[in-house]
C-alpha cells in the first residue's frame, strides 16, 4: 500500500478521520499489560534460550508458538505503531465468515467512492460481478483496498465495519488497537502492536478459509466479460520475490507498507509439526528488511528458540472462554518508551473521531470514550509459565 498525504475529495466523502493526533509510536499504558507483565518491559524479553539474531532493527517484534500461545521472545510487544495493511487480518477475522464464498456481487461506483487515493488496489471495477471468494483473494493476495471497501459496503458500510472490527479487537483482547479504517490505510490515531497483530493472525489461522487465502500464491482475477488476469501474493517469504527465496514451511499471513508506517509483517511457518508466529514492525530499512528479520526470528524459533521459556502468552478471546484482565497492582510494569503520556492518552481514544461514509456524506460519530474506558480496565493476564519466569 502506498501512502498519500492527501485524500481526494471523492475519498474524503467516504472516509475522514479527525480530532485524533497521529500516535505512530505510542507506548502501551502501564495498565495495559495483556499477556503478562514482562511484555510491557523495555528491552528484549527472553528466558532459557540464547542466540537471538544480532541485527534486528525493528521498533517492535514478537515470536510466539501458534498452538500453545506462548510468547518465546519479544521486544516492545505492546508498543502502538501504525499497522498499515496488516490490519486487514482483523478485517478478515471480523468479516470473513459473514458471506458464502459463492455469493456474487455487482460492484457499483458508490462501493469504490471512499477508497483513499494512493491505496493498493487489486483492480476491482464498477459494473463487474465478482464472487465473494474472488474479493477475498483480492484482499489477501494483493492487499486490495478496493476489495476491502466492496466487502465493507456489503457488510453495511465503512462505519459499521470499523465498529465491528473495534468490537472484535476488544473480544480478542487486542487492546493496543484503535481502528479508523478497515483497510489499514494511514489515518490519524490508527494503531496496533506486534502483540495484537499476532493475536489477529493466530485467531485467523484457526479458520480454514483464512489459512487457505493467506497461503494462496497466485489466482486469476476477473477483468470483465470472460477475461481474467493473474494476481500474485505480495508476501515475499511465501512466493519468493525481489531476491528472496520462499521460506521453508511458510503459510502466510500478511504484510503491509505505507511511507508513514514503514514495513510491517506478520508471518507464520510450520516445521516438524510446530507452527510459529512472528510479527516485525517498522525495521530501520525498507525493501526486504522486514522479511529478512522475520526469517531470522523464525530460524531462531525453530532452532535455539526451542528451549525458550515463555515470557508471556497470547490470550484467548473473551467469547471463547478467555480470562478477562484484572486491575494491575500499583507499581506495575513500566510501559515501553516512545511517546509522552499525553500522546498515549490521545491514542487511547479520549477524543472522538469521525467517519464520513457513502456518497451522501453521512456523518457518523464514533465516540472514543468507550475505547478509553476499556484501556483503563485492561491489565495483566499472564500465563502460568510466564509468571513462573517473571524474574528470569
What pLDDT digit, counting tens, does each position of 257-288 carry?
988 889 999 999 999 999 999 999 999 988 89
Residue reference for cell 492518552: 345
Task: Tell me whether the omega of the peptide bond preceding residue 285 falls within 30 degrees of 0, making it cis.
Answer: no
C-alpha 54/C-alpha 207 separation (Å) is: 35
Task: List all residues 6 or more positions away from 206 whose beta carbon is below 8 Å from its beta carbon.
Answer: none
Helix (H, G, I), strand (E, B) or coil at 65: strand
**Distances, alpha carbon 28 to alpha carbons 93, 105, 130, 254, in Å:** 23, 41, 41, 23
C-alpha 358/C-alpha 159 separation (Å) is: 10
Task: List all residues 6 or more positions away from 129 whose beta carbon is below 8 Å from its beta carbon.
Answer: 104, 105, 106, 107, 222
Of the candidates 180, 85, 97, the residue with the CA atom closest to the CA atom of residue 140:
85
pLDDT at residue 244 greater than cutoff 80:
yes
Which of these is catalytic: 74, 143, 346, 351? 143
Convert the pLDDT of each residue in 120-135 to its tens digit.
999 999 999 999 999 9
Q: Is 192 a catalytic residue?
A: no
Residue reference for cell 451522501: 360
Q: What angle do CA 181, 186, 188 make, to 5 degrees?
A: 85
Mean pLDDT of 362-381: 36
Helix (H, G, I), strand (E, B) or coil at 282: coil
Q: Across all residues in the chain, what is the average pLDDT?
A: 81
Say if residue 334 is exposed, middle or buried (CB neighbours under 10 Å; 0-12, 13-18, 19+).
Answer: middle
Convert the pLDDT of each residue in 319-351 to its tens digit.
999 887 644 333 333 333 333 222 333 333 322
Q: Is 98 a catalytic residue?
A: no
Convert the pLDDT of each residue in 88-115 to its tens digit.
999 999 999 999 999 999 999 999 999 9
Which of these is catalytic: 29, 85, 119, 193? 85
What pLDDT shows up at residue 16? 37
Convert the pLDDT of each residue in 359-368 to its tens digit.
333 333 333 3
Q: Is 85 a catalytic residue?
A: yes
Which of these is catalytic: 88, 168, 254, 292? 88
What pLDDT shows up at residue 384? 40
C-alpha 44/C-alpha 57 separation (Å) is: 12
Amino acid at each position: 500500500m502506498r501512502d498519500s498525504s492527501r485524500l481526494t475529495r471523492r475519498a474524503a466523502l467516504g472516509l475522514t478521520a479527525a480530532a485524533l493526533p497521529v500516535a505512530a509510536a505510542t507506548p502501551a499504558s502501564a495498565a495495559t499489560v495483556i499477556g503478562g507483565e514482562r511484555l510491557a518491559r523495555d528491552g528484549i524479553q527472553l528466558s532459557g534460550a540464547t542466540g537471538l539474531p544480532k541485527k534486528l532493527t525493528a521498533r517492535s517484534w514478537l515470536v510466539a508458538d501458534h498452538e500453545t500461545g506462548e510468547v518465546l521472545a519479544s521486544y516492545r510487544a505492546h508498543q502502538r505503531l501504525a499497522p498499515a495493511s496488516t490490519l486487514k487480518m482483523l478485517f478478515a477475522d471480523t468479516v470473513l465468515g459473514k458471506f458464502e464464498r459463492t455469493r456474487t456481487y455487482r460492484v457499483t461506483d458508490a462501493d469504490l467512492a471512499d477508497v483513499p487515493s494512493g491505496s493498493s488496489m487489486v483492480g476491482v471495477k464498477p459494473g463487474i460481478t465478482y464472487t465473494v471468494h474472488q474479493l477475498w483473494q483480492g484482499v489477501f493476495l494483493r492487499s486490495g483496498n478496493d476489495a476491502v471497501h466492496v466487502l465493507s459496503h456489503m457488510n453495511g458500510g465503512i462505519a459499521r465495519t470499523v465498529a465491528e472490527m473495534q468490537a472484535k479487537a476488544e473480544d480478542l483482547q487486542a487492546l493496543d488497537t484503535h481502528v479508523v479504517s478497515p483497510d489499514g490505510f494511514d489515518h490519524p490515531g490508527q494503531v496496533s502492536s506486534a502483540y495484537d497483530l499476532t493475536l489477529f493472525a493466530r485467531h485467523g489461522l484457526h479458520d480454514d478459509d483464512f489459512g487457505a487465502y493467506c497461503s494462496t500464491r497466485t489466482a486469476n482475477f476477473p477483468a470483465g466479460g470472460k477475461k481474467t488476469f493473474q494476481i500474485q501474493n505480495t508476501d515475499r517469504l511465501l512466493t519468493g520475490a525481489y531476491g528472496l527465496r520462499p521460506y521453508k514451511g511458510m503459510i502466510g499471513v500478511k504484510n503491509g507498507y505505507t511511507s508513514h508506517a514503514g514495513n510491517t509483517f506478520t508471518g507464520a511457518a510450520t516445521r516438524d509439526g510446530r507452527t510459529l508466529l512472528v510479527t516485525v514492525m517498522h525495521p530501520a530499512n525498507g525493501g526486504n528488511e522486514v522479511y529478512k528479520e522475520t526469517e531470522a526470528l523464525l530460524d531462531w524459533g525453530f532452532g535455539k528458540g526451542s528451549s525458550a521459556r515463555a515470557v508471556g502468552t497470547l490470550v484467548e478471546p473473551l467469547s471463547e472462554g478467555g480470562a478477562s484482565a484484572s486491575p494491575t497492582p500499583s507499581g506495575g510494569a513500566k510501559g515501553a518508551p516512545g511517546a509522552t503520556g499525553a500522546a498515549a492518552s490521545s491514542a487511547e481514544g479520549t477524543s472522538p473521531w469521525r467517519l464520513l461514509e457513502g456518497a451522501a456524506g453521512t456523518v457518523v460519530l464514533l465516540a472514543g470514550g468507550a475505547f478509553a474506558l476499556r484501556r483503563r480496565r485492561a491489565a495483566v493476564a499472564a500465563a502460568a509459565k510466564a509468571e513462573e519466569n517473571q524474574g528470569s
